[in-house]
Amino acid sequence: MQWQTLGSAPFLPPLYWRAALKRKITGSTLPEQGLRCQMRINPQDVAAYRNVCGFADSPILPATYPHILAFGLQMQLLTTKNFPFPLLGLIHLRNRIRLHRPLGAVSEVTVSVHVQNLRPHAKGATFEVVTTLEDSLGLLWEAESQMLCRGVKLEGEPAGDTLPSPTQVNELTRWKAPADIGRRYARVSGDYNPIHLSALTAKLFGFPQAIAHGLWNKAHTLAALGEHLPPANIEIVVEFKKPVRLPSEVTLLTRAPGASGEWLLKGAGDIEHMVGMWQPIA
């Protein structure tokens, strides 16, 4: 793995332009390179993120906030010339985060991103975007986001590992996903993917309505689970099922929260939007 260290977080507008121009698959191997950057955490940015995602005020960062810190690095990596897939059109299938220590009193961190694990899938190929957060004491937080690129042809058998839907779950809470949440989340995350912004821009990519960001759904779920989740030594895995069309209402169902647990996010007509689980890090 070749690492490049950046002096500051990437400037996003030119990366969007680069993403918009690349529409073709140009290869079938992942680049052996990663990006790193030292970042300071801005309390105003964290407060705006909490507000959009439903997190209560706390001295500990939301477990999903490192995704926001890493977004620019991920964009830069996925729009380099030697990255083989177009960024627009990638589908986020699943996401796993591991919190090694509580995210309290964190002000300066090193964020690193790379890609790995290209595998055949029934609809194309999947790969993982790996993100880590380190402070002066070492590894704090890490994540793998599994992405699907349709239309890639790879040799081998498609993997079929999916999270089962939990049973014996009870309603914990419900919330509305308003029509403008894609735009509001874009402002705090930097993720201005057109499928999330409006019905008009979503239709350009084959969606009848705008859909909520998967990581907004996950963040709002963790905010709702709140005190049920341990602040550290925890692994949280989610699988994104049917997208949440905007506007709509969703219901969170969970089972016996404790050191480990499961949840299901449902929409109207029992549509399953997301399944998830948490457990101690093995």
On the question of pLDDT at 190 being above 70, the answer is: yes
pLDDT > 90? residue 267 = yes
The DSSP H or E segment spanning 127 is strand 124-135
- Could you give phi then psi for residue 187, rounded to 5 degrees? -65, -35
Range list of H helices, 204-263: 214-225
Please indicate whether residue 146 or residue 230 has the higher confidence score (pLDDT): 146
Q: What are the extents of the domains in the chain?
A: 2-280
- Mean pLDDT for all residues in the chain: 94
Using DSSP bridges, classify how beta strands 91-99 and 33-40 pair: parallel, antiparallel or unpaired: unpaired
Residue 119 has pLDDT above 80, yes or no: yes
Topology adopted by domain 2-280: Thiol Ester Dehydrase; Chain A (3.10.129)
Across the range 207-221, mean pLDDT stands at: 95
Q: Tens of pLDDT along 73-90?
A: 999 999 999 999 999 889
- Kindly report the pTM of this predicted structure: 0.94
pLDDT in tens, 18-77: 999 998 999 999 999 999 999 999 999 999 999 999 999 999 999 999 999 999 999 999
Measured CA distances, 30 to 124, 191, 201 (Å): 15, 23, 29
Q: Tell me the C-alpha distance between 207 and 196, whole Å.
A: 10
For residue 191, which of 34, 49, 83, 84 has the smallest C-alpha distance?
Answer: 49
Per-residue confidence (pLDDT) for residue 227, from 0 to 100: 82
What is the pLDDT, as a whole number, of residue 257? Answer: 65
